Structure 1
Amino acid sequence: MKTGDTKRRMIHIRFPKCTLTAVAGLMVSTTLLAQTPAKPKVQTSAKPEQTTVFVGNTKGGASKTAKAKPEEKNTKNNNNKTAKARQGGKNAKASLKRGNKRGSKESLNGRYVALKTNVAYDALALMNLGLEIQVAPKVSVELPVIWSLWDYEQEHGIRTVAIQPEARWWMGRETGYGHYFGLHAHVAWFNVKWNDTRYQDTERPLLGAGLSYGYKLPLSEHWGAEFSLGLGYANMKYNTYYNIDNGACLDTRVRHYWGITRLGASLVYRF
């Protein structure tokens, strides 16, 4: 056999061995790659900054969780601030309701309205009823009506119809509570029997005006007590008669009076 033929045969023998070696290496690599577990893909609807990252298994088999990113911390802080703001708003509304509980008692679109009777006049058998309405901030107007159409006995009696309107300025923050100053006027028709003399107005009623001071004390949600004292002037023209049936007229007098013109201890109902 020639030398050239021997070399060609050796080349043909070596080539299949190299090919088999390469194929065997490729199979081993493929097997190793197949045995290496791939990272699991987690499908989630959470935002990227809210996603939990698994680092790997520890010795105990538990997994570690990556720390939250700054964006997640800011989101939590914003949520806490929002919750505090909502709670603060609720507390503010509750405080406002408590603070306005007293002021919201004013009826008729926020106006102070009250009905009252003067107990001091009632004790003298002088029936009376008054209505007070707020007309401006800290300002109210009262209109009491006083009447008595009967005698106590043969020698004593007061028959009268009178009105005494008054404008009031309240010193407190709310109308209808605390101290006030008032300006009042009075008009009265009268026929008074006292001992041996009877006094009766003539030509015109009693007229006058004065200043007053008072204080309103709340007793409950609707009830209260009011105390007042007024000083002023009254002018009257009247006839005097013998205090008997069809008694003769004695004289006609005109009197200018200075002194107490208003005295009250009233029971008040606030609407």
Structure 2
Amino acid sequence: MKTFNEQIKTFPMPRLLLPFLLAVLPAALSAQTVRLKNNLLWDATLTPNATVEMELGWHTTVQAAYGFSPFSLGEGKKLRNWCLAPEVRHYLRPWFKGHFFGVALNAGQANLGGVKLPFRIWKSLADRRYEAKFAGGGLTYGYVWSLGDHWGMEASVGLGYEYVDYREYACPTCGERTRDKTKHYIGPQKAALSVVYEF
């Protein structure tokens, strides 16, 4: 059996993405409306991503977002992670524009260290490394703006619960493990500013 470190170094992107695409593609082809989105905030953290949103019925959609970052930035800096996040949404107006509320889930892994985040978020990340697995869910609120026949912008935020199982290392490059911990987090959980293309 692989160790925790081996699991996180061999990100299971192909094993997760292929079943996801096989499950989503038939539904996407039969849906009346399909949107493809890219979260610019994930891009800013060097996490390429894509979201597929499909119409289920009057005012309701289902979507799944997938982000994957394989990057090690040199000098012990790591931003490696993947996350899969499905969500069901209810729009207050038809045509899937304007305000919406959602129920979302997420799961993923991360290998982060040696990085300074803005606004002094997670200060210890600058001189330590963390390997983590996480899963959770919560409620979202957002708004969609139409920019033409096919293009739009979307902003959303979320609050919820996150279960995090992590290992802490004394420095970004050394192998000295200082702590194994499980954390139960409740609070802000999601932020998205996305470009939307509607087929």
TM-score computed with the length of structure 2 as normaliser: 0.76
How far off its partner does 1:240 sit? 0.8
Deviations along 1:66-101, whole A, 9 cap, x unmatched? Answer: xxxxxxxxxxxxxxxxxxxxxxxxxxxxxxxxxxxx
Q: 1:237 aligns with which of 165, 178, 193?
A: 165
Q: Report the RMSD for the aligned CA atoms in angstroms.
A: 1.7
Query: Going by fraction, where is helix more abundant, 1 or 2?
Result: 1
**Does the 8 Å contact 2:31/2:56 carry over to 1?**
no
Aligned residue pairs, count? 161
Structural mapping, 1:94-113, within 5 Å: 111-113=32-34
Q: Residue 151 of structure 1: which of 72, 79, 84 is its match?
A: 72
- Provide the residue aligned with 2:154 in structure 1: 226
* 1:254 Cα deviation from its structure 2 partner: 1.0
**Percent of counterpart pairs with the same letter?**
30
Is the contact made by 1:155 and 1:195 (CA closer than 8 Å) also made in structure 2?
no
**How much does 1:135 deviate?**
1.4
Letter in 2 for 1:178: G
1:114 maps to 35
Q: How far does residue 244 in structure 1 lie from its aligned partner after superposition?
A: 4.5
Unaligned runs of 5+ residues in structure 1 are: 1-106
CA contact (8 A) 2:170 2:178 kept: yes
- Write the letter of the residue equivalent to 1:123: A
Q: Give the 3 Å change call, closer, same or farther, for CA 160–110 of structure 1 in structure 2.
A: closer
Higher relative contact order (CA 8 A, sep 6+): 2
Answer yes or no: is 1:141 the counterpart of 2:62. yes
Name the counterpart of 1:261: 189
**1:197 has 2:117 as partner:** no
The answer on 1:161 being equivalent to 2:92 is no
List, as ranges, runs of 4+ consecutive aligned residues in structure 1 with deviation greater than 6 Å: none
Specify the code of the residue in structure 2 equivalent to 1:209.
G
SS of 1:152's equivalent? Answer: strand
Q: Which residue of 2 aligns with 1:208?
A: 136
Match of 1:130 in 2: 51
Partner of 2:97: 177
CA contact (8 A) 1:155 1:196 kept: no
Contact 2:31-2:54 at 8 Å conserved across structures: no
Please give the secondary structure, in 2, of the residue aligned with 1:131. Answer: strand
